[in-house]
Structure 1
Amino acid sequence: MLPDVPLSLSVLRTLPVSVDVAATVGTLRVRGHDWRSVSVTALAAGGRLAVEPASAESPGGPLAGALSADATGPRPTLALALRSSGAGVDLAPLLEALGASAPLRGRARLDFSLRGGGNDLRTYLGSLEGHAALSMGAGTLDPALVGRLTAPLRGVVPEGALGGAATLRCLDLRFAAADGTARAETALLRTGLGGATATGSVNLRDETLALRLNPVVRVGSVSVTTPVTVGGTFAAPTVSVDRGGAAAAAAGALGAIARGSRDEETAALGALAEALSGGTDTAVPGCDGTPAPAAPRPQRAPGVGDVLRGLLGR
């Protein structure tokens, strides 16, 4: 699925002279978008290139970075560092300027430092080392993306509550890459509906996925969670529900609902079910890593059948 786009750095080996340039451009228009205060210092000699420092006021905000390339060996190497400053960059106009669509809108702090080697893009990505991090505060998610993400929750969560999924409270992602495998060190998402954390890795060498997602949806005083495993390949990913974890979560959630009953016997049975399941202390992750406060109780609480269908995927 990753393209075999050639990465040729042979021009660095054939340069007849050394090049040492420091330049500043007030406004640089690329694809109809203005990049301002562009500043670059570059040195090319002996088959190597170093661009550092480099900075610009991008369409989304200030960025600084560095680029280095080495074409002296049989396998060329390329390293790239990119970092935002201050309050970060506005993702939507930045991605649009780069020719990409924006799945979310808001200001983000970026920190990338990646290096690898290869004669084509697939080989290069399969050798990546370094880290990539993105963190956001308040923002919004693309409606089409929200629709896909909340589809399994329809009929489980009141329709009025699903609208909160488009409201981004925070997003914090950090992956560490080694030998082409990117491992999630931090993966946290919080929206107006709930939140999710993730663990695992993405293997760029053989294009496989090994991720475990832990979404948590808060409905009134009840936290509904269904652990999900994502595996397979980039071309044919597989998604499966952890049935054991879902069953335990179902028992805990049902116990919590019953425990709130005015009937003493039902409440007692609910407390017992909740205790046997391990409790319902699964909390929506907060933006600072601590549990978030409970959301206001919706107009219609989920019923027993709703929770079971949602947790067990039926």
Structure 2
Amino acid sequence: MVRPIYIPIQVKDAIQNHLNESITRGLRAYESAFEDEDVLTGHLFGLMKIDEQNVIIDDLEVGGTWKWSIDYKKFGGRGKGAPESIIGADGIFELSLYRGDEEMKKSLLFQSKLDWQSRDEKLYLQCSKLITWLGAATIINYTQDELESYSIEDVIANHGRKPSEMKPLIQLLGDDFINCFIGDSDLRYDAFTKRLIWLDRDNETVATKFNINRRLKINVTAPRRFPFQETKIDKIISADEINKHQLNTDLNDFNVGNANTLKELRKIQAKLSKVFHPDRHASLPQAQVDLFSEFMKQINNELDKQKEYIKRKKSNS
């Protein structure tokens, strides 16, 4: 299951720009590492690794300093019992969003290839194993000109032949993965127990031994939000007293302070009187009529203040 992880567009852009720069630099090393997929992967992911970066967001609800980083870890090696021979993948991408003590996480398995061109029987077998994690697994192919990604279902349909439809790795990670179009929120790797854990179709959480080879982890930390503090209450009121305790409303919301002429002010006054004047609500219980009377008094006070301001402004001009 993919549960959306909210990350501001400014943070996404910063991550995507870094990934794009890293991939561009990594392609330059293709010639020297051409014959060794493991060396090329290590060099590329090493370039993607970056210490914590800050992005300041100016927004009322999600504003503050957002932090992001990318961590790369190489765990194991090849040979008998290697992860790709067991589950069909040799690595995992992870995205984690930290909000205080809460962590939201999702993962994407990957199998990497080097200059894959023709039919690959081994890759076909690996993809047939990865079908267990359909929607949360992909194939990466390193070429001299592009880092490509392919869906495992397309590879299976082609029996290991290279599909015609390709997506650049930068788009897969910087767009689809970060925007939660691919990957799974119930799939995760436990590096301590070396287990791959996920929720199956029977809603059972299962795990299997997985000595993962490589992990690339994108970490995003939201601005720290302090726990809700208990509001100091000065008085407990009954339902009958509610009308005596109006919300501290800013009357500028009614455009009183926006009037620049007495004519504009009269129009605003007529509009507000039509809504709030107590005479228009005489059929209501007296308590409500009294509430309108009190509210209209406050409006009239603001109107009087604005009227004096307009007169002073006119006399000074």
Confirm or deny a common fold (TM above 0.5).
Answer: no
Pairwise TM-score range, normalised by the shorter structure? under 0.3
| TM-score computed with the length of structure 1 as normaliser | 0.22
Task: Give the number of the structure whose residues are more often helix, by fraction.
Answer: 2
Whose relative contact order is higher, 1 or 2, with alpha carbons under 8 Å and at least 6 apart? 2
Task: Give the number of the structure whose residues are more often strand, by fraction.
Answer: 1
| TM-score computed with the length of structure 2 as normaliser | 0.22
